[in-house]
Amino acid sequence: MRFTDQFRSHYQPEMQLSPYQAQTIGTAIRSRAPGCRLLVFGLGHDSELWLALNADGQTCFCESSPRWIEMIGSRLHGARIREMPTHDLTVATSASLPPEALSAYPPPPDLAAVAWDVILVDAPPGYQPTDPERAVAIHWASELASRGTHVFVDDYERPLEQRFATALLKDRRDTASCVVPASEAASYRKLFWSMGHPTGGAPAHGPVVLTIATADYARTWRFCIDAQVNYCRRNAYEHRVIDPTGSPLHPKWAKLEHAASLLRRGRDVLLIDADAEITATCPPFTDTLVSHPARDIFCVKGISGRPNSGVMLLRSGATALRFLEDCLVHRQDAVPPEDFVTTEGENGHIIWMLKRQPYADALAELPLAWNCSDPVQADQAFVRHYTNHLKAWFLQQEEP
C-alpha cells in the first residue's frame, strides 16, 4: 500500500501530532525501509499508524502507564511493548537535573543491543509537575542513537523537553536538526527533529575533533573549520562545531564542558580552536595516543613557554576527564600571577592545573608543528593557529 494510502487509513484526528508532523516522522521511517528499526516512547492513538508505516520493519513501544498498555496494547496485535520505569522522577523533580545526572538511568541492554533507525519520544505525558517526566526517555534516545538515527521529540515547546533535547541531542550530535511546527496557524506546538546521517556517517563512539564558534566567528574562520572537516574525513573521525550562544559559560569554558561530556562517553578528543587550520600533512591524532600509552593530556608550549590550550589531545579516561572537571570547578578562582593569561578564558587555569598531580605526570608536550603560530614555520606545520604573529601575518596578506 502506498504511503499516502497507509497514512489516510490510519491517521486519526485524536492524534496530538499534526498531519504535517506525523508525515515528517513517517517519511523518516520509510527512508530506512525495508527493515526499519523503530523505537517509540509512548502508546496512543498514533501507534497503529507507526505499525502500518513500518509493516516491513521492527517496531518497539516503551510505555510507562499500565493503563495505556492495557487500553492501546490490545489493539496492536503482536506488537512488541515493554513497560518503562518512571524511576520516581516527575516533571518537577527532573526539571533542574543536570543532563549528566541522567547517566544513573542507562537504557536496558535489550534496547542497547539494537541499532535503531528512528526513535520517537512522545511519552510520558509530562503535562503536570507531578507527572512522570521525559528526561530519561530523551537520555535513552541520545544513548541509543547512532549517527544514522532520526530522533524526534514531541512537545519541544515545553521547557523540560526543550532543555534536555537541546543538551542531549542538538548539542551532542554532529547532525542537522530542525523544529517542525504543527502548522503555520499552530506554530506554538513543536516537534524537534535531530536528523540521522543518510549513510550513517562516522562511528558514534570513535574519536572526535571538537571546536567551538559562534556563527559569526565560524564564518570568519570558515577555511580553518573546513580544513578540520577534511582532516576528519581522511581519518574517519567525527567533527563537531559547537555554538556556545546558549551556554551560560564563556565560550572558552563551554568548549571544556563539551569536551568533558565526550570523555565521559569514552571518546578521545582533539580539542582545537576554530581559528586553527589542520594541514594535509597532519597525522591522525590517535597515533600519538597509541605511541604514548602512559600519557593522557597532550599540548604544545606556546610563545611564553607555557602550555597552550588552542590544540589539546585528550585520551578518554578518568585522568583527562578529572583534569577538565577540576578546571571547570575552579574557573572562578584566581590563578597565580605566573599562570595568568587573560581575564576571560581557560588557558591560565589549564596552565595552573597542569602543574598539579596527577595531571603533571599525565602531560606530554607536543611538537610545535601541532600548534604553530609562527609565519616562518607555518609551511611545515600540522596545525596553523592564526593567533599572535601568524594572525598578524594573515591579516596583512588579506589587505588590498
Q: pLDDT tens-digit profile of 262-312?
A: 999 899 999 999 999 999 999 999 999 999 999 999 999 988 899 999 999
Contact 173, 36 (CB under 8 A): no
C-alpha cell at 39: 523505537
**For residue 399, pLDDT beyond 70:** no
R_g over Cα of the chain: 24
Outline where 74-122 has alpha helix (H): 91-94, 109-112
- pLDDT tens-digit map of 97-150: 898 889 899 999 889 888 899 999 998 988 899 888 899 999 999 999 988 999
Residues 6+ apart with CB under 8 A from 227: 277, 278, 279
What's the rounded mean pLDDT across residues 320-344? 92
Return d(Cα 379, Cα 360) in angstroms, integer.
31
Q: What is the rounded distance in angstroms from the CA atom of residue 161 to the CA atom of residue 167? A: 10
pLDDT at residue 288, as a whole number:
98
Gap between the Cα atoms of 52 and 33, Å rounded: 12
Domains and CATH numbers, the chain: 3-194 (3.40.50.150), 208-398 (3.90.550.10)
The rounded mean pLDDT for the chain is 91
Contact 29, 53 (CB under 8 A): yes
**Preceding amide of 124 cis, omega within 30:** yes
Q: Is the pLDDT assigned to residue 396 strictly greater than 80?
A: no
Q: Could you give the angle at the alpha carbon of 14 between the alpha carbons of 13 and 15, nearest 5°?
A: 90
Residue 149's pLDDT is 95
CA atoms within 13 A on the CB side of 98: 4
Is the pLDDT at 51 greater than 80, yes or no? Answer: yes
One DSSP character per residue, 315-348 reads: -SSHHHHHHHHHHHHTTTSPPPGGG---SSSSHH
Which residues make Cβ contacts (< 8 Å) with residue 167, sequence separation at least 6?
99
- Determine the pLDDT at residue 392: 80
Residue 329 has pLDDT above 70, yes or no: yes
Average pLDDT over residues 33-62: 94
CB under 8 A, 24+ apart: contacts of 234-237: 235/207, 235/284, 235/286, 236/202, 236/203, 236/206, 237/202, 237/206, 237/207, 237/208, 237/209, 237/270, 237/284
Q: Which amino acid is at 166?
A: T
**How many whole angstroms separate alpha carbon 312 and alpha carbon 366?**
9
Report residue 178 CA to chain centroid gap. Answer: 15
3-state secondary structure of 295: coil
Q: In this model, does residue 204 exceed pLDDT 90?
A: no
Residue 347 CA to residue 325 CA, distance in Å, equals: 14
Which tops the pLDDT comparison, 178 or 252? 178
- Cell reading at 285: 591524532
- C-alpha dihedral, 221 to 226 to 227 to 231, nearest 10°: 140
**Residues 26/53, Cβ–Cβ less than 8 Å:** yes
Whole-structure pTM value: 0.63
Q: Give per-residue pLDDT as tens, 138-197.
A: 999 999 998 899 999 999 999 999 999 999 998 878 789 999 999 999 999 999 999 998
Phi, psi torsion values for 132, nearest 5 degrees: -55, 150
3-class DSSP state of 148: coil
Q: Supply the pLDDT for residue 152.
A: 98
How far apart (Å, rounded) are the C-alpha atoms in residues 113 and 59?
14
Average pLDDT over residues 203-221: 87
pLDDT at residue 203, as a whole number = 57
Angle between helical axes of 19-31 and 3-10 (0-180°, round to 10) = 140
What integer is the mean pLDDT of 21-27?
Answer: 96
More confident residue, 286 or 244: 286
- CB neighbour list of residue 284: distance below 8 Å, 6 or more residues apart: 235, 237
